[in-house]
Homo-oligomer: A and B are copies of this chain.
Amino acid sequence: MSENPADDAAPVARPDLAAMVVPLGRALVAAELPVLRAHDLAMWAYAVLLRLDAEPMRSQAALAQAIGADKTRLIGILDDLAQRGLIRREPDPSDRRARLLSLTAEGHRVRTAVQSAIQEREERLLARLPEADRRGFLRALQALSALSAAELGG
Contacts and interface: CB of A to CB of B under 8 A. Distances in A.
Interface of A: 6-7, 9, 11-12, 14-32, 47, 50, 54, 68, 108, 112, 115-116, 118-119, 122, 125-126, 128-130, 132-145, 147, 149, 152-153
A150 to B, nearest CB: 9
A17 B29 CA distance: 9
Complex A-B, nearest 8 residue pairs according to Cβ-Cβ distance, in ascending order: A136-B136, A137-B140, A18-B28, A27-B152, A20-B145, A22-B25, A21-B25, A133-B136
Contacts of A19: 47, 50, 145
Number of copies: 2
A3 to B, nearest CB: 14
B152 A125 contact: yes
Given A6-B112, A112-B6, A140-B137, A152 B24 contact: yes
A18 B25 contact: yes
Contacts of A11: 54
